[in-house]
Structures are given as structure tokens and as C-alpha cells.
Structure 1
Amino acid sequence: MSDKNNKIPFNEDNYTHNIERNNERKLDRRGFMKTLVGAAGVFAVSSLPWGAVAAKELMGLGEKEYPHKKITEVSKLPIGDAVEFKFPGDHDDAILIRLSENKYVAYQNACTHLRCPVFWVKEQSEMICPCHHGKFDVETGSPTAGPPRRPLPEIQVKVENGAIFAVRVKRYEA
């Protein structure tokens, strides 16, 4: 056999001819996948502290007591009437209803369906969301009709020195 047939017709240092030469290509498919999985692992582990902080904050929401906020005087709220107020923040609408001489209920009055306002209809003794005809039980805040599936978040109140105060928000628990 002649040496002429075994000779490469172009320069051996050509990158496209000898791709493995001198480790020119260091990252194959397996190496790429290892790098990808490693990077995903690093991102997952680096986000754990933030997830723990968020979980801790969410776990404490049901127990969080806010500065007590005066809603109204007992003498100014007849039995069967309601008064709107803001709690816990200045943008959180709420409603207080006096059911009997010594029984008060309060809820955040944003419907749990699409956050429309919920109104107290004294004549029907119902809490109604006019957007999609949702109704809530005044005693428990649970939905009784319409699309809402979750109860209204309850606001715990206390009566002190002839005034009614909002104390804390009891969050909905699944």
C-alpha cells in the first residue's frame, strides 16, 4: 500500500477535522447535563433561606395580634346594625355587625371569590356580595350561596370600657 492513500488531504490542525485533538472540545452532552443539574441545585439551595423566611411569616399570620383599633362605641351601634372600618391596615376594609346585646362579629369584607365588597343586608340578615350573588353566613362567615368557596377572614373583637376594638385577623385555613 502506498503512503499516498493514507495521507490526509488537508492540514491536521484544522478544528473541523480533529475535534478531539488536545481537548479542544471539553464539554460533551454528559458534562453539559452535569453542569445544568449542578447549577439548578445551586439555585435551589440558595433560595431555601428565603422560602424559610416566607414560611415563617405565613405561619404567624393567624396568630399575629395587631395594635388594637377602636371601631365604635357600643352605644352607637344598635342591635342588627353594622359599621364599616379599616383593619389591620388603612387599605383593609372590614365590617362589624352587632347580632345581639353582647354578640359582635367582624369580617374582612372583601369577597373570597373576586374581592368585591361584601355588604350587610339587615332586612334579610345576610352578608351579600353583589358582584356574583355570593352570600355568607353572618355567624361564621362561611359561604352559603354563589361562587365563593372560602369563608371571609374573621376579625376578632373585644369590648372594653364601652367601646369595641378590633384585635386580630383570623386567617382562612385550608
Structure 2
Amino acid sequence: MPSDKNNKIPFEEDNYTHNIVRNNERKLDRRGFMKTLVGAAGAFAVSSLPWGAVAAKELIGLGDKEYPHKKITDVSKIPVGEAVEFTFPGEHDTALLIRLGENKYVAYQNACTHLRCPVFWVKEQGEMVCPCHHGFFDVETGAPTGGPPRRPLPEIQVKVEKGAVYAVRVKRYEA
């Protein structure tokens, strides 16, 4: 006759949860986890608001911000059709001044709007070229004419005064 030893419940209880120590049980269920997750996301969103306000304030004022006028070159030192590199508004913001006519000058920041590679003036083609990914920009407007760039180069407004060309401000990109 088979032994009844294997068919008996080892304890007097009628369920098998006797080995769970409820004092050490985790106290965070799914609902508690979701509340914690939503609370953390809300705290992160609220804590990032001041930085967004600072960034928005900076972006809104870019179009109106006039920097100290910076002399680029003397008019006599740049022949028609040639270009001069300079930095504006900061020392690490490279730019390009191109003399298109006797009294016509254009200047752009020369970092490609695709991946910030340097843009060069190619007089023979009459275009500004980004050699990294074969981007091309119109010299009159700074608008992309070929390649991957989709936004125009930021224009730098210049002023001719007393025989010299000065950088005045960076024109904000209009969408």
C-alpha cells in the first residue's frame, strides 16, 4: 500500500503560502510603481522649465542683438570676386565675407547648416561649397542649392564705413 506521507500537507495550513515572510515582502506594486514613475517625470519636467525659459529668451533676442562692430578688412584689400575669412560674433564663430561688386558685400557664418563643416567660396563656380557632403549655397542669399543642407547659412549684416567693411549683426534665420 502506498505511503500517505507524500500526499499530506506538511503543515496544518491549507495553502502553500506559509513560507512567505510578509514583513520582508516588497511594498511597491504596479500601481505604486506607476505613481512613482509619473511623479519622477513630473519633477523632471518642472525642474527643466527654468532652462527652457532661458533658452527661449536667448533665441527671441537673437534677431535684435547688435554686437560691437568688428572691422573685417579695408575695402582696398579685397578685390571684387574675392573672399576674406573672419570671426564674428565670437572668436570661435568663423565667417566669410565675399565682395560681389564694387559696392556689394555679403557675409555668412561659414559652418554648413547640415553638419557644421566649413564652407568655402569657389570663385570659378560662383558658389559657396561644403566639401564634406557636397553641399552648395547661393552666394546672393545663402540658401542651399544642392546637397544635404536644408537651411540657409546665417547671414552677417555688414556695413561699409570710412573705407572699411564692418560686421554689425547676425541676421536670425527665418523659417
The reply to whether TM is greater than 0.5 is yes
Q: Shorter-normalised TM-score: what interval?
A: 0.7 to 0.9
The sequence identity of aligned pairs, in percent, is 82
- Once the 2 structures are TM-superposed, how far is the Cα of residue 27 of structure 1 from its aligned partner? 4.6
Secondary structure at the residue paired with 2:156? Answer: strand
Question: What residue identity is the alignment partner of 2:165?
Answer: I
Deviations 1:118-174 (A, max 9, x none): 211222222122222221111000111222211111111111121111011123333
Give the gaps of 5 or more residues in structure 2: 1-10
Partner of 1:16: 20
Partner of 1:72: 73
- Once the 2 structures are TM-superposed, how far is the Cα of residue 84 of structure 1 from its aligned partner? 0.9
Partner of 1:3: none
Give the gaps of 5 or more residues in structure 1: 1-6
TM-score, normalization by structure 2: 0.79
Partner of 1:4: none
Aligned-residue CA RMSD in angstroms? 2.4
Partner of 1:86: 87
TM-score, normalization by structure 1: 0.80
Relative distance call for 1:31 and 1:119 in structure 2 (3 A) is closer
What does 1:22-171 correspond to in 2, within 5 Å?
Answer: 27-171=28-172
Distance in 2 between residues matched to 1:52 and 1:165, nearest whole Å: 33
Distance in 2 between residues matched to 1:143 and 1:29, nearest whole Å: 52
Distance in 2 between residues matched to 1:54 and 1:122, nearest whole Å: 38
